[in-house]
Amino acid sequence: MSGSSPEHEDLRFLKLGAPIASHLGLQLLLLLNVWFFPVWFAVSCWATRAKHGLLDDVLVVLGPVLLALNTLFEGLRLFFGYLGNLSENPGALGGFLSLSIFLQAPLLIIQLTTIRFHLTLAEWILDCLLLAFVATEIVAGYFAYTQIAVANNRKILSTRKSIELDKINRT
């Protein structure tokens, strides 16, 4: 047993000069999005309730379903973004990018371009802002993903090299 605590191991690892690979731009965008999300959700709930009488039968059911899906995807997307960026986890960051590109952005684009939804002005503005957040987070997430993947590859390669050096030193 080495006698050193896990905290000392972490400090020793940081003292070796291992750079932190998380992306500050993505982190700031995620922070702003986390603060923006409750406002978007409140206005969307209000608008869904306010325009209930204007919508046809299909959209009366589809509106709350799309709101629930948007809320679920946004919550998961923000969680995976934070997890992937702060813990330097490429898998979680890949999940963040996949949710952003394949689910959240198309759902917002469909909602913004469908005239039958009768979007209120506040709802339209906030949906456009959310789509702008998603688009900029996709770009920043791509750069963060490449930066974190390179850092993880360097860690793996340096670990393999140190294992090989230990084997050589033992012989």
- The tens digit of pLDDT for each residue in 41-67 reads 999 999 989 988 888 888 888 889 999
Check residue 88 and give left, alpha or beta (phi > 0: left; psi -120 to 50: alpha). left
- Comparing 11-15, 47-51, 148-152, 154-158, which segment has the lowest mean pLDDT? 11-15
Q: What is the per-residue pLDDT for 1?
A: 46
User: Would you kindly state where each structural domain of the chain is located, as residue ranges?
Assistant: 23-170
